[in-house]
Every structure is written in C-alpha cells, then in structure tokens.
Structure 1
Amino acid sequence: MTRFRSGFLAVVVVVGVLVAGTLVGPRAVPTDFFARMSGTATADSDALADSIAQRLRRAHGADALASAPYLRLTFALDTPDGTRVIGRHLWDRTTGRYRVEWQKAPDSVYVALINVRKGTDSLPEGTVYRNGTALTGDAETEARRTAYQRFINDMYWLLAPLKVADPGVNRTYLPDSSTATHDVLHLTFGDVGLTPDDEYWLYISKGTGRLDRWAFHLQGMDDDAPPQVYDWTEDTTLTAPEGPVALSTRKAAVNGSQAILTTDLALPSQPPDGAFSTPTPLLDRPEN
C-alpha cells in the first residue's frame, strides 16, 4: 500500500471551487492578464519571493497551526439565491483521520470516514456511508474519491496562504505587478498533487502581511481563459496551543455575485464522540 506524503500540500496541491463537479467563478479580468502578470525569476527575486512567502505564513500563523491537533470547518457557497452548504469537515491533523459530510440530494446524505495519509492513486483508505449504510463497489469508490477531492479543494480555500513554502511550490516575485500596497507572488507547482499545472497569483498586503486577493488559472481551464479572481475577507483569529491563527472566512468574487465561505472554524483539542466512527451526520449539530 502506497502512503500519501505527510503534510497538506505534499499530499495534494489544489483544485478550483468544486461545486457539483464544476468549476465556478468570475471572469471579469483584463484580457492581457497573462502578459501583465508574467515575470522572469532571478536570484534576487527568488530570495525576495521566499522572504515574502515566509512573512505571509507568519502573518497567518502557520507555525501555530502546526500545533493544533484538529481542524474543523464548513465549506459553503453564497449566491444571490442564498447560502448552500457544500461540505462539513473535521481533520485529525496528527493521524490523518478525516471526516467529511455532504448532501447530494434531499434524501441522500453522505458521511466519509477516510485517512488522507493512506491510500493509492489519490484514493484514500476508508469507508463512505449514504444515509447510514456503507456503500460498496463502484459507488463506494467514487464517493471516496469525491471525499478526497473535497479535502483537497475546501482545505486549500482555507489554508492557501499558510502553504506557500511547502515542497513542490515554486514562487516568483512580480515587481512590475506589485504596488505600493501589495506584493504579488506567482505560484506554480512541480510534479506534485492532482493538478500540477495550476497557477496562482497572490496579492499580499505590505501592511499586514496577509493575503488580500488571489487570481488563479487551473489545469482544466482553456489556455486562453481569463483567471478567476477572489478577494479574501472577514479574517477571524483562532487560538492554537502555540499561538494565534488568522484565517479568512469569506472569499468574494471580484465583479461577481458569489462568495466562498469557510465558516464554523475551530481548532478543538478533542473531537466529538464518535467523530471518526459514526456513519450518520454529526457536524451539523450545535453541540458538536
């Protein structure tokens, strides 16, 4: 059995906003975006990119997060039609045990109990239940793959600024795109993760050191498709054993009408009873 590498981005890189199997987001960006956001790395720019990346990690509390044994969140999509919960997550960051709950239809509620450190071919070990009954065969395999994609996608929308220095991440500082208020880093990836041809542009506040905006062009998009752009807003501060962790709870589409929500954030010292064994939903209960 092949083990996934430890560490989040060493396990996976990124995908876009995964909602019902599709990528969603605005395209209201200049048509010459790629020409304007290109740059050539030099030894000096590489050193500066690394320095900015480390400042970004510190500003969001990456080292403090490393001391937190559990991480919990709800991933949702906010549109003019209302807010829709996409998935509820609980991660045992020490062992890799993972619980994610989602609803595919009014009468189909899924609970995946997997381990994101164990498995083969991007398919983690574990079991997925529908309405409390364990799935089998192809249906179970596909549901387990969906659970793993939810882990990849939803956690990266929360933790991206803390993962910029992970193995396999290439950073380039773009001086011509940076401004008096923001440094811009261009991220590409080595031969890691599920979608190594993704590209990201991070707009990092010179005042706070935190991520204010990102743009991305994903591997599955047309080569000439404009990037999608989101503002990272509504930071909240959580307390980990070794200090504060600052995370954005709302990513709002620029010139668009939707937002990605990462809410119900918590760094519990212990999980709810039965968190990694109960086959029916429990993360939607206020007491949990």
Structure 2
Amino acid sequence: MKRILKGILKAILVLFGLLIAVLVVVYFMYNEKVPEGKNTQEADALAYKMLTAINKAAYQDTRYLEWSFAGGNHRYKWDRKIGHVTVIWEQYKVLLNLNTPKLSEVFENGAKVIGTEKTKLITTATDYFNNDSFWLVAPFKIFDEGTIRSLVTLDDGTQGLMITYNSGGTTPGDSYVWKLKENGMPTSYKMWVKIIPIGGLEATWDNWKTMENGVLLPTSHKIGPVSLSMGEVRAYN
C-alpha cells in the first residue's frame, strides 16, 4: 500500500514539475515587455479617428446597454443616464448603484441580502462589471480621466495606439496597444494587465455590429483559441 501511495505521489510531483516547466517555457516564449509610447498629440489624433469610426456621438447618446459575458453566466443591463446596472450571475441579482455603491440592492434567489454578505456581493458585482463592460466599451474609454495616449510602432510598421490607465477601474496601471484599420476601426489589442502574468497577449475585437441607435459595438473576441462571446448586445435610448 505504501509503495502504491509513494508511486502516486511521485507521479503527481512529476506532473506538477512538467506543468511548471511548460508554464515557464510559455512565459519566455510569449511574454513581451510594455512598449514605450511617444507622440502624445499624434496619438490623440489617432484616438479621435478610432472614436469616429465606431460612432462615439451615438454612444454618448446611448442610455441603455445590454450584454452578457463569461459564457452567458454574467448578464447586464446598464442605465448610463442614472448610473445603475442590473448585474445577474448564478443565484444573485445586484441592482448596482455606480455613483453610490453602498445604496445598491442585493438579492439571492429573490430574497434581499443585508450585512457583510451584501457588501461582499456589491464588491463582486462591481468587479464583474468593471471587467465585463471593458470588453464591450473599452474603445470609448480612451479619453477617460487618468488615461495616457501614445503611439507605438507595430511589427508591420504601422502605428498602434497605446492607452495606459493610471487610475480608475479595478486594476489601474494596465496598458493596451490597439491595432486599427486605415479607417480607424479597431481590430485587436495587446494587453499588459495585472491579472494576466504574460504581457502582450493579443485579443481580437470581432463581429462589430451597428446597434439600433447607430453605435458600433463588438459581439465577440478571441484570445488565441479561446472565444469570448458578448451575448446578445443591445444599445438603445
């Protein structure tokens, strides 16, 4: 029996060692340093070109946004006018007040939640919203307070738009380099973010659709072989 247990333990240690080795190899193969951006004024011009391509004017007039994330497990309805978001996941529903989070309401299986559990779930809903909404509206956030815009020369010689968020959201300090078509339409970005240990991972921004109010929004992304669906995206007034 002891020999069997030792054999199992040895196999586990070998597998663990192989996993660590694979992760180290992947890190050194794909990890990229954050590029150094320059030419802030020219970067601003490119940023405005991107906003024109996706119809920022229509976005500014948009009151309601609906989408889902995490394979449909996170669902949202965002009232941008009053700063309220309905966040639904598993058995929870949070009526999230973005302006004053402590005034948010929390429900579990339809029953109201109070106390410390309520506070924890408000934090969870806020983190989900910050992450999942970014995958929907990140291009419209490139002039948010605390952002720095600069130009980066890409491998093909074209100019990429680098955005660094020095404040705001859940993980300030993250940087993204956008790849754009000639008309300013975003096609992908590379990420240098705290929650991903490998810098420079590229995510596509695909299947852009014109919403009923004219704004353009993405409905899917890809990071390598992994697909991220935004669900049934809606934008209306």
Give me the TM-score of the superposition, normalised by structure 2: 0.81
Match of 1:58 among 29, 52, 64: 52
Deviation at 1:142, TM superposition (A): 0.9
Letter in 2 for 1:132: G
Query: Where in structure 2 are the equivalents of 1:215-234 lying within 5 Å?
Result: 215-222=190-197, 225-234=198-207
Provide the residue aligned with 2:7 in structure 1.
none
Q: Tell me how far apart the structure 2 counterparts of residues 209 and 164 of structure 1 sit (CA, whole Å).
A: 14
2:32–2:199 Cα contact (<8 Å) kept: yes
Task: Report deviation, 1:40.
Answer: 4.8
CA separation in 2, counterparts of 1:178 and 1:245? 30
- Distance in 1, matches of 2:187 and 2:29, equals 19
SS of aligned partner of 2:103: strand
Q: Deviation at 1:151? A: 1.3
Q: What is the CA–CA distance in structure 2 between the aligned matches of 1:135 and 1:156, rounded to whole Å?
A: 27
Unpaired runs of 5+ residues, structure 2, are 1-25
Aligned residues: CA RMSD: 2.1
The corresponding residue for 1:38 is 35
Distance 1:266 1:229 in 2: 25
The answer to whether the aligner puts 1:97 opposite 2:73 as a matched pair is no
Q: Quote the Cα distance in structure 1 between the aligned partners of 2:127 and 2:208.
A: 25
Aligned partner of 2:100: which letter?
Answer: K
Distance verdict in 2 for CA 1:191–1:32, change over 3 Å: closer
Check conservation: 1:30, 1:226, Cα contact below 8 A: no
Superposed counterparts of 1:127-276, under 5 Å = 127-175=105-153, 177=154, 179=156, 182-206=158-182, 208-222=183-197, 225-240=198-213, 244-254=214-224, 257-269=225-237
Instruction: Write the letter of the residue equivalent to 1:196.
Output: P
Using CA pairs under 8 Å that are at least 6 residues apart, name the structure with larger relative contact order, 1 or 2. Answer: 1
* 8 Å Cα contact 1:57-1:163 kept in structure 2: no
- The equivalent residue for 2:96 is 114
Q: Which deviations, in whole Å up to 9, do the C-alpha atoms of 1:132-155 show, x marking residues without a partner?
A: 001122221111111111211111
Q: Deviations over 1:51-80 (max 9, x none)?
A: 01011111111121111111111123xxxx
Q: Is the 8 A contact 2:130 2:169 kept in 1?
A: no
Q: Which structure shows the higher helix fraction? A: 2
Which is greater in Rg?
2
Alpha-carbon distance in 2 for matches of 1:62, 1:183: 21
Structure whose residues are more often strand by fraction: 1
* Change over 3 Å in CA distance of 1:135–1:40 after alignment to 2: closer
Matched residues, number:
212
1:204 Cα deviation (Å)? 1.2
Q: Is the contact between residue 29 and residue 226 of structure 1 (CA under 8 Å) also seen in structure 2?
A: no
Gaps of 5+ in 1: 1-26, 77-83, 104-108, 270-288
Q: Kindly, what percent of the aligned residue pairs are identical?
A: 24
1:94, CA displacement in angstroms?
0.6
- Contact 2:215–2:235 (Cα < 8 Å) also in 1: no
Q: Distance in 2 between matches of 1:228 and 1:31?
A: 8
Change (3 A) 1:191 1:236: closer
In 2 relative to 1, CA 28–247 (structure 1 residues): closer, same or farther, beyond 3 Å? farther
Q: Which amino acid is the alignment partner of residue 267 of structure 1?
A: A
In the TM superposition, residue 236 of structure 1 has moved relative to its aligned partner by 0.8
